[in-house]
Amino acid sequence: MNDESTAPRRGRPARSGGRAARHAMRAAPLTRDKQPIKAGMSGGTYNPLSRQDMERIYEAALVALEQIGLCDAPESGVAVMTAAGATLGEDGRLRFPRALVKKMLGLAQKDITLHARDPQYDLHLSGTKVHYGTAGAAVHMVDVLGRNYRESTLQDLHDAGRIVQELDNIHFLQRPMVARDVPDNREMDLNTIYACCSGTSKHVGTSFTEPDFVTDALEMLALMAGGEDKWRERPFVLNSNCFVVPPMKFATESCQVMEHCIAGGMPVLLLSAGQAGATAPAPIAGAIVQAVAECLAGVVYVNAIKPGHPAVFGTWPFVSDLRTGAMSGGSGEQALLTAGCAQMHRFLGVPGGAAAGIADAKLPDMQAGWEQMCSNVMAGLSGLNMVYEAAGMHASLLGFCFESLILGDDLLGQAMRCVRGIEVTDETLGFATMNDVCLNGPGHYLGSDQTLGLMETEYVYPVVADRTSPKEWAEKGKPDLIAQAIARKESILSKPSAVAFSADVDAAIRARFNIHLPPVG
């Protein structure tokens, strides 16, 4: 056996540093332009539905809107939708002629920018651009060390924002849990916005309990933005709006909330969250039909009020375990539902969002890993614009876990690498390098210019996950994955927030509103 593997290549100087230098290079933070994955990469390579399948789903949704329609719209909604061309039957149901639906689809905004407090985190929704983030309304926090669940608090919500701020592969923060320690609904809604926006400068999503609370929220957001005009120019908070109560009913108060948000310049997520086999048809195709029909009614509603107002098409059907009726967000059926919905968004030409990454597992264990990865990868490959609930969610959305959020950042990094796909060019086919290595070089690619040049741009390296050999792992004290996540969580939360409001802005907000979080510093 010769020693070519350690010899310098012919005619070229020896490289210094070797393995240690490569490790140092990998450990160094990458500038944004060099990152191999980033928000808004295009998916769309996975398509569980054929063109004919999508046409049949669309046709079924149009028939449902024409023949079944929706009931329980508020009087204001009935007025605006009937003025646009919907018909109100004697049974109190609004029905939507297909010509009206198609007209409003034509008016709907196709390219939406969801702004962030910091413009570098703006989300550009169009085509198959993929963004991963949080969402949900968990009422518990997962205590991984005690293997217990406790009620979630406002401080937890703020801390979630602070952690998301430091995670490259979590692109937005939609409120993932409810502040159970703020019993007054108005103060809870307002403090939710404050906790999220003071924790992260990324795009934020939230909801409102009652329509009357929206006006105060808009006043708070104008203070954060530096004026109402600046807020309207760059609205950095979205209203996640469950405007329907499946099957095929409007949620009266949520519709009124939506009307207030539209008037205030806030983008909306039209969220239809039926549960297959319970509040939506059991077949996967049927669940998609109902969600599409309900969201199309939302498109009519929004564009009848304000043509082109930014609205995300939120087909968000969930899966039931039909043996028990319990939600099964970590199932393969959920992954298929979400991917099918993403295809329908593309078919209709509207920016869309849906749920993925939900774990039915109670703790961040192997079950959680396969459940979260399966649906997140399929959502990304299908080109879903907004992948909600992508990290941190356990117990079928009942629990949120900081450690799982941090581990999810690594998981989503691998998912986004799958979304990016394989680039086939003369350079990546690698024949010239293969020829040089095999005929002129040491017989391996470890030190080649191509390998060194692609270390940062072709490969994604996890932050917390362990890739050491068993020997190295033992030498390092056999580090535990959860312990690593806890350490990163504590490191993030021990440092002052880099995105807190300025002292004068914070003082103005606190003078007007009862903020439950203590002042920073």
**pLDDT 10s digits, 71-100:** 999 999 999 999 999 999 999 999 999 999
Tell me how far apart the alpha carbons of residues 516 and 128 are, in angstroms, rounded to a whole number.
40
Residue 197 forms part of a structural domain: yes
Phi-psi region of 423 (alpha: psi -120 to 50; beta: other; left: phi over 0): beta
At position 364, the amino acid (one-letter code) is P
Residue 48 makes CB contacts below 8 A (sequence gap 6+) with: 336, 339, 340, 343, 382
Confidence bin at 11 (pLDDT 50/70/90): very low
Q: How far apart are CA 276 and CA 293, in angstroms?
A: 15
The answer to whether residue 182 scores a pLDDT higher than 60 is: yes
- Alpha-carbon distance values, 436 to 9, 442, 444, 513 (Å): 10, 9, 10, 68
Mean pLDDT of 323-339: 93
Q: Average of pLDDT values for 21-49?
A: 78
Tell me, yes or no, whether 395 lies in a domain. Answer: yes
What pTM, to 2 d.p., does this model score?
Answer: 0.93
Q: What pLDDT digit, counting tens, does each position of 214-263 carry?
A: 999 999 999 999 999 999 999 999 999 999 999 999 999 999 999 999 99
Q: What is the pLDDT of residue 15?
A: 45
Please report the pLDDT score of residue 322 as a whole number: 87
Q: Which residues in 288-436 belong to E strands, given as ranges?
A: 311-315, 318-321, 326-327, 353-355, 386-388, 393-394, 399-400
Q: What is the pLDDT of residue 134?
A: 98
Residue 299 · residue 350 · CB < 8 Å: yes
Question: In this predicted model, what pLDDT tens digit does every residue of 190-216 receive, in sequence order?
Answer: 999 999 999 999 999 999 999 999 999
Q: Which residue in this structure is represented by tokens 């039957």?
A: 89
- Residue 228 carries which DSSP code? H
Residue 401: name the closest of 391, 389, 411 by CA.
Answer: 391
Q: Are 415 and 373 in contact (CB under 8 A)?
A: yes
Domain annotation covers residue 104: yes
Residue 337 and residue 287 in contact, taking contact as beta carbons nearer than 8 Å: yes
Residue 409: half-sphere exposure toward Cβ, Cα within 13 Å: 25
How does the average pLDDT of the chain come out, rounded? 93
How far apart are the C-alpha atoms of 168 and 9, rounded to whole Å? 38
The rounded distance, in Å, linking the Cα atoms of 108 and 105 is 5
User: Both tokens of residue 227?
Assistant: 């004026």
The span from the CA of 249 to the CA of 247, in Å, is 6
DSSP 8-state class, residue 119? G
Q: Which helix (H) or strand (E) holds 130?
A: strand 129-132
Q: Has residue 245 been placed in a domain?
A: yes
Residue 406 contacts residue 485 (beta carbons within 8 Å): yes
Please write the tens of the pLDDT for every residue from 126-137.
Answer: 999 999 999 999
Average pLDDT over residues 445-468: 88
Which residues constitute the domain of residue 312? 75-420
Tokens representing 73 are 């719209």
Q: Looking at the domain assignment, is residue 148 inside a domain?
A: yes
Q: What percent of the chain has pLDDT over 90?
A: 84
Q: Alpha-carbon distance 498 to 496, whole Å?
A: 6
Q: What are phi and psi of 297, to 5 degrees?
A: -60, -40
As to burial, measured by CB atoms within 10 angstroms (0-12 exposed, 13-18 middle, 19+ buried), residue 437 is buried
* pLDDT at position 52 over 80: yes
The band of 28, judged by pLDDT with boundaries at 50, 70 and 90, is: low
Q: Tell me how far apart the alpha carbons of residues 345 and 128 are, in angstroms, rounded to a whole number.
A: 9
Question: Given CA atoms 242, 243, 244, 245 in this order, what sign does their dihedral have?
Answer: positive
The pLDDT of residue 405 is 98
Classify residue 354: in a domain, yes or no: yes
Residue 156, classified by CB atoms within 10 Å of its CB into exposed (0-12), middle (13-18) or buried (19+), is buried
The reported pLDDT for the residue numbered 427 is 86
pLDDT at 23: 58
Alpha helices in 115-227 (DSSP H): 154-165, 185-199, 213-225
Query: CA-CA distance, 287 to 305, in Å (whole number)?
Result: 28
pLDDT on residue 4: 37
Kindly tell me if the per-residue pLDDT of 22 is higher than 60. Answer: no
Residue 303 has pLDDT above 60, yes or no: yes
Query: Residue 151 corresponds to which tokens in the numbers above?
Result: 């009620």
- Under DSSP, the state recorded for 178 is -
Confidence of residue 390 (pLDDT cuts 50, 70, 90): very high
Indicate whether 14 belongs to any domain: no
Q: Which residues contact 463 (CB under 8 A, 6 or more apart)?
A: 409, 410, 488
* Domains in the chain, number: 1
Average the pLDDT over each of 5-19, 247-261, 504-518 and give the range with the smallest value: 5-19
Q: How confident is the model at residue 392 (pLDDT cuts 50, 70, 90)?
A: very high
Give SS3 for 394.
strand
Alpha-carbon gap, residue 336 to 323, rounded angstroms: 19
**Can you give the CATH number for the domain in which 235 is found?**
3.20.20.480
Burial 323-356 (b: 16+ CB within 10 A, else e): eeeebbbbbebbbbbbbbbbbbbbbbebbbbbbb
Tally of CB atoms within 10 A around 258: 31
Residue 188 included in any domain: yes
Tokens for 239? Answer: 């209203």
- Tell me which residue of 382, 402, 381, 380 sits closest to 393, measured CA to CA: 402
Cα separation, 220 vs 206, in Å, equals: 14
Asked whether residue 31 carries a pLDDT value surpassing 80, the answer given is: no
Q: How confident is the model at residue 454 (pLDDT cuts 50, 70, 90)?
A: confident
* pLDDT of the residue at 25: 56
